[in-house]
A and B are shown apart, each in its own frame.
Chain A
Amino acid sequence: MTTPDWPLFEVFIRSRSGLEHKHVGSLHAVDARMALEHARDVYTRRLEGVSIWVARSSDITASDPLDADAFFEPARDKVYRHPTFYPIPEEVKNL
């Protein structure tokens, strides 16, 4: 009764040239070519994109949300990476 178990693809769309591709959702397809055509029909019916990437979901490795705190910890105490860390007198311009 059910459909064959087609792989899941993640869909990324560039909404116009100059912008990056952005994740918009996922769909099932038998191969990458079919995934592209389905992505066009499902996600760009109103000219939402000028370019589409599809990637098999199983090919994506993602960070673990439970480890997020520890994983991103190294950046937390390095405020000197931001320009606002450096007090500069107001009379100094263009800096």
Chain B
Amino acid sequence: MYTQGLDSLGKDCLQTASQDEAALSARFEAKVARDEKIEPKEWMPDAYRRTLVRQISQHAHSEIVGMLPEGNWITRAPTLRRKAVLMAKVQDEGGHGMYLYSAAETLGVAREEMVAQLLAGTAKYSSIFNYPTLTWADIGAIGWLVDGAAIMNQIPICRCSYGPYARAMVRICREESFHQRQGFEIMMTLARGTPAQRAMAQDALNRWWWPSVMMFGPSDADSQHTAQSMRWKIKRFTNDELRQHFIDVTVPQADFLKLTVPDPQLHWDEASQHYRFGEIDWSEFHRVVKGHGPCNRERLEARRSAHEAGRWVREAASAYAAKQGARAAA
């Protein structure tokens, strides 16, 4: 149950926890080892809770900020069909943010707190959304590559040990697959179009390829959270494993489009049955994560101004509910 109504009972739980932490910890570890789900209000180690709050809230922020680069093209979509599809996709991203915030709240963190962290610029979100969408082809590339990478990251999380996160992810993955396919369809249409349209598709691939490859996060050697998260079954594959899988499935799709992946060192390795790829520019990744990407400032400004512009609506809704409540009581 996602309820906060258990809070009074929760206090009793906490007291018991301090008395018998070793036994509770053993029970928790055994449960995770048996592949059973951990549910809200069950005892869990503080570090497990903190890791989940961090990961789920970052994930939620990414969905919310992810609406911005694509929202930029809603008014300029080339056809009514594309416009309807793009609006549905952006609305889905907002919905995904809502599922994830609600999953994070089951761990005892308040929605307001998470939103405040995002607006204050202290929370992280996926670095990919700090790149600009310069042409319509970028909307195709985002669906194909960015959503493709997101799906690859998210499918294993459907089996995450924390129940509410796993369930939110099942719902999200089901919806994401339309996102990826509509993106590939845009790329296909451009790739089969006029030379100018082909060039536009190639340009979008050139700009989005490396940021998409970086979406899987730092390489395993530099990833501080991977080992513990894998032990807790929050994470099922390492960053590098997922990245390799993404490249292996995506390169043939680029070949189908007759577009060139912007990596001169990319080649098929018969022995390992994998594509080998060039060096990732991690300095760029860290620069963008630290807030110095092309659009970090613009994205946060857009979120802040949306939040401020919506303030009167929230206040009016609260006032209306208070008035209705008072009338009903009278």
Question: A66 touching B43 by the CB < 8 A rule?
Answer: yes
Nearest chain B CB to A35 CB, angstrom units: 11
Contact A10 B39 (CB under 8 A): no
Closest CB in chain B relative to A49 CB, distance in Å = 13
A6, A45, A62: which contacts B6 (Cβ < 8 A)?
A62
Bound complex: CA A42 to CA B168 (Å): 12
Decide: B2 and A57 in contact? CB cutoff 8 A.
yes
Q: Which A31-53 residues have a C-beta within 8 angstroms of B?
A: 31, 34, 41-42, 45-46
Distance between B71 CB and nearest chain A CB, rounded to angstroms:
17
In whole Å, how far is A4's beta carbon from the nearest beta carbon of chain B? Answer: 5
A3 in the interface (beta carbon within 8 A):
yes
Contacts of A31 in B (CB 8 A): 321, 324-325
- Once bound together, how far apart are the Cα atoms of A57 and B111, in whole Å? 14
Which listed residue (B95, B99, B103, B315) contacts A41, Cβ 8 A?
B95
B227 at the interface (CB under 8 A from A): no
How would you classify the secondary structure of chain B's contact residues: helix, strand, loop or mixed?
helix
Question: A6 contacts which chain B residues (CB < 8 A)?
Answer: 318
- Interface size on B, as a range, is 35 or more
Output the least CB separation between B303 and chain A (Å): 11
Residues of chain B in range 104-147 having any CB-CB distance to chain A below 8 Å: 105, 110-113, 115-116, 119-120
Let me know if B317 and A34 touch, CB within 8 A: yes
Closest to B114 in A: A2
Give the distance in Å from the alpha carbon of A66 to the alpha carbon of B205 in the complex. 52
A26-B5 contact given A3-B314, A64-B12, A66-B43, CB 8 Å threshold: no
- Chain A CB within 10 A, most for which of B2, B9, B43, B98: B2
As a 0/1 sequence over residues 10 to 36 of chain A, the CB contacts with chain B under 8 angstroms (1 = contact) are 100000000000010111101100100
**Contact (Cβ within 8 A) A62 B112:** no
Contact A25 B2 (CB under 8 A): yes
Restricting to B12-63, which residues have a CB under 8 Å from any CB of A?
Answer: 12-13, 16, 39, 41-43
Q: With the chains together, A59 CA to B92 CA distance in Å?
A: 29
Residues of B within 8 A of A84 (CB): none
Q: Once bound together, how far apart are the Cα atoms of A6 and B315, in whole Å?
A: 11
Is A58 on the interface with B (CB-CB < 8 A)?
yes
Instruction: State whether A57 and B318 are in contact (beta carbons under 8 Å apart), knowing that A64-B12, A65-B42 are contacts in the complex.
Output: no
Given contacts A25-B168, A60-B3, whether A30 and B119 have CB atoms under 8 Å apart is: no
Q: Does A1 contact B (CB under 8 A)?
A: yes
Establish whether residues B5 and A25, one from each chain, have CB atoms under 8 Å apart when the complex forms.
no
Contacts of A5 in B (CB 8 A): 110, 112
The answer on a CB contact under 8 Å between A23 and B2 is yes
Inter-chain contact B102/A27, CB cutoff 8 Å: yes
B residues in contact with A41, CB < 8 Å: 91, 95
A8 to B119, CA, bound (A): 22
A94 within 8 A of B: no
Q: Contact partner of B116 among A2, A8, A45, A56, CB < 8 A?
A: A2
Known contacts A4-B315, A31-B321, A57-B5; A25 and B99 CB within 8 A of each other = yes
User: What residue in chain B is nearest A57 (Cβ atoms)?
Assistant: B3
Q: If the complex has contacts A45-B91, A66-B16, are A3 and B112 also in contact, measured as CB distance less than 8 A?
A: yes
Q: Which B residue's beta carbon lies closest to that of A62?
A: B1
Check B105–A26 contact: CB distance below 8 A.
yes
Contact of B5 with A59 in the complex, beta carbons under 8 Å: yes
C-alpha gap A4/B3 in the complex (Å): 19
Partner of B13 from the list A1, A59, A66 (CB cut-off 8 Å) is A66
15 A-B contacts (beta carbon < 8 Å) = A2-B113, A4-B314, A4-B318, A5-B110, A8-B3, A8-B105, A26-B102, A30-B320, A41-B91, A45-B92, A56-B5, A60-B5, A61-B5, A62-B5, A65-B41
Give the 8 A-B CB pairs with smallest separation, nearest first: A2-B112, A57-B3, A30-B321, A26-B2, A58-B5, A65-B42, A30-B317, A31-B321
